[in-house]
Chain A
Amino acid sequence: MTMALLGRYALLLASLAAGYTVGVGWWTNRTHSVSLRESVRGAAVAVALAMTAAVLILEYLFVTGDYSVQAVYNHTDRALPILYKMGALWGGDSGSVLFWGWILSLYTAFVAWRGWPREGQMTPMVVPLLGALLVFFTGMSNLVVDPFRLVPGNPTNGNGLDPLLQNLVMTIHPPAMYMGLIGMAVPAAYILSAVWTKVPSREWVPVVRRWMLFAWLFLSVAIVLGGMWAYMELGWGGYWEWDPVENASLLPWLMATAFLHSIQIEEKRGMFRWWTAFLGVGTFLLTLVGTYITRSGVLKNSVHSFAGTGVGPYFVTLFWITLAVSGFVFIQRRDTLHDRMTLDSTLSKEGIYLLLNAFLTAIAAVVLFGTFYPIISKAFLGTSIVLTVYFFNSMTAPMFMGLIVLMGVAPVVGWRSAKWQTIAKKLWKSWGMGLLVGGLAYLHGYHSLLQFLGVTLAVFSLTSMAQEFYRAARLKHVATKAGWFRSLGEAVVTNRRRYGGYLAHMAFLIIVLGVVGSHTNNLSITRTMIPGQTLSVGGYQIQYQGLKGATHPGYQMTDAQFVVKQGRTTFTAAPGLSFFPGSAQPVATVAIRGGLMKDLYMVLEGSPGHNQAIVQIFVNPMVAWIWIGTYILAFATLLAMGAPMGGDAAPVRNWEFNPTERTPRRRMMPAEGSDRA
């Protein structure tokens, strides 16, 4: 028996155990047998054990270079550094499906092991549902994309990893993406179980919210890491192109964001119940749509090089089955999805959240339509039309502007109803600051309507958020007489959920400012330079020194050497071209000198000979704000997730005890998390 065969055996065991969690789990839900229920818990952990064994075996084959295995032969070679050899696991479809199934098995084991005693009513049904997905993934690995398939002969070296994937960011981006995408299966399974078993929303809402927040964090970070990789590796000076594969990850993110806001209204006011449940399940359905887009190769206009290996139709089948099951559950249990409360006034926190949901869903609909337009146009017009960046920008930008305004207004609007006068009184300083900074930005070249409005509205919302932190610190400062920083820290720590949320909004607004800034006053020139020549671009004095060749393990590189002066600072830059054996096109190595307000971005295009270099130079303003915003976003999400679970639970409302009452008689304020507002 070889290691590859052992891997196949582990996959077979995983399939059997997954089938056991589904079959016996379903039977347990009918018979309520305690012994069988405990056995299903064990089986869920057993699937994770077998999948972990399969992944470790494949990693062992990658690292030791067993090129008789097709996945190893196709995606590694001897010269590849060990980190990229390990990362080659998700370089192809077979490894990706295995990796995806492995993460799902870990989630399922965690749910079964930790969740069962605490979420006693839901988990016996959640585990078989997740088990059904595990049957799908292990089945795919066993029958369709076997990661342990052997190649004929006994090759002594492999084809190597795609040079574009040989990047540190690219070793982190796919795992983060998978953690996020497949993580959304867990809240969907909880929602379906809760709706089917008629578990009160106060029990499932805190659990589902936390799982979705966890998956959303990974997906958010993964999307930005994808942009970071494109910026560092592809050499076109940008980070987002509305590519179908990029859109595939954005779609579930938009739905999950809408869900995370909608669930708060369900939690606090017992409203948007069916909509929240629909969004939770819909997010997972969109991850399947995204996987289909990414893996099927159905959209030919993607710059991403995912080759179609025939997994697409299986994911489409899974999508339709999940949709049918979800539809059946929602229709059968429609009586449990009625709202307990109605919207008292549009001008209220609930109304703002409703608008916010409408914008996010509308953006998702536009992105979905635009992404599939080549197929739609082919079907109805006879020709495949690809919609450009212009379509996506002009359709989504106004809605994003609306979202930004709502983010600034929402904190000061009360529950149930609010008055325009009160809101205006609380927000005039924020509007003033927004207009002031917007005006200054206009003088500095932010002339188009979108640029001006983008800065004005983002600064308005940022100031509004900052005011919330100020109010919290001030209240604490007045009450405890402690220092301002300590007061702020205590206020935030004692209400992590609320201020984690506000900080996440601020991080998003910083990203928005980065996006607007990077599309304003940017420069791009292409020049053929001779050694000794100096060029002045955007405040940089760039002197070309000459070409320099170097041999690295597995590839050869030619660098163009530059000395750059920026004010009193002098530094070197060396954009290059890497030549990989077996790759027809050289791969550009971009030289980036990052700064808070602007990046110098240099790409070597080629050389006409005589030590000359054709170089493209970009000056990209404020790109760093996008990365900084992402770091803050990750921190803020962790902060919000760190709120204690008990205080995180939905407040039980008095109308829960008297369902016929339309509005609560007493006027009490809901505390956010475990604390006071």
Chain B
Amino acid sequence: MIVWSLAFVLTCGMVGLVYLPYRSAKVLGPARRSNTGHDKTLMEADVEHALRLWYCATCGGHFERLDQDLCSHCGASIGDGGGL
């Protein structure tokens, strides 16, 4: 009897795990957004990421824009060696 009960519980659990998410599906993550909005958000995240992970080789200061030629902290020319 215990074994039958366990088999029943296992079957119900399996069916529930497959069927209930199907019934109560909600859109998760990026799919909720429109394609344009999604791309824009991704691009902004990319730029933020780049600014956070790259830095001046002379003073270690972070950049504020991707297109800057001088470090805003020490004034080193980024296009001219920058202390590499």
Contacts and interface: CB of A to CB of B under 8 A. Distances in A.
Given A6-B3, A121-B30, A20 B18 contact: yes
Given A1-B3, A1-B4, A117-B29, A46 B53 contact: no
A38 B84 CA distance: 49
A265 B79 CA distance: 22
Interface residues of B, number: 42
A46 B79 contact: no
A241 B59 CA distance: 52
Nearest to B71: A668
B84 A39 contact: no
A2 to B, nearest CB: 7
A666 interface: yes
A656 B46 contact: yes
Contact of B7 (A9, A20, A42, A665): A9
Binding site secondary structure of chain B? helix
A13 B6 CA distance: 13
B37 interface: no
Interface string A1-15: 111011001100100
Given A2-B3, A45-B17, A669-B54, A38 B82 contact: no
B46 A39 contact: no
B75 interface: no
Interface string B39-55: 00000001101101111
Given A49-B13, A202-B46, A671-B54, A414 B84 contact: yes
Contact of A46 (B18, B66, B78): B18
Interface stretch (A173-181, A272-280, A335-343, A644-652): A644-652
Contact of A652 (B4, B19, B22, B47): B47
Binding site secondary structure of chain A? helix
B14 A46 contact: yes
B72 to A, nearest CB: 13
A2 B3 CA distance: 7
A667 B29 contact: no
Contacts of A674: 52-53
Nearest to B53: A651
Contacts of A665: 79
A656 B55 CA distance: 17
Interface stretch (A29-37, A452-460, A481-489, A616-624): A29-37
Contact of A43 (B17, B57, B84): B17
A649 B66 CA distance: 18
Nearest to A35: B25
Residue among B24, B26, B60 having the largest count of chain A Cβ atoms under 10 Å: B60
Given A414-B84, A667-B84, A676-B60, A38 B22 contact: yes
Contact of A39 (B7, B21, B56): B21
Given A9-B7, A42-B22, A120-B29, A49 B57 contact: no
Interface string A649-664: 1011110110000000
Given A36-B22, A118-B29, A668 B7 contact: no
Contact of A670 (B22, B25, B53): B53
Contacts of A9: 7, 10
A98 interface: no
A652 B14 contact: no
18 contacts: A5-B3, A6-B7, A13-B10, A20-B18, A34-B25, A37-B25, A39-B21, A46-B18, A50-B10, A50-B14, A117-B29, A118-B29, A647-B52, A649-B49, A652-B46, A652-B47, A656-B46, A669-B84
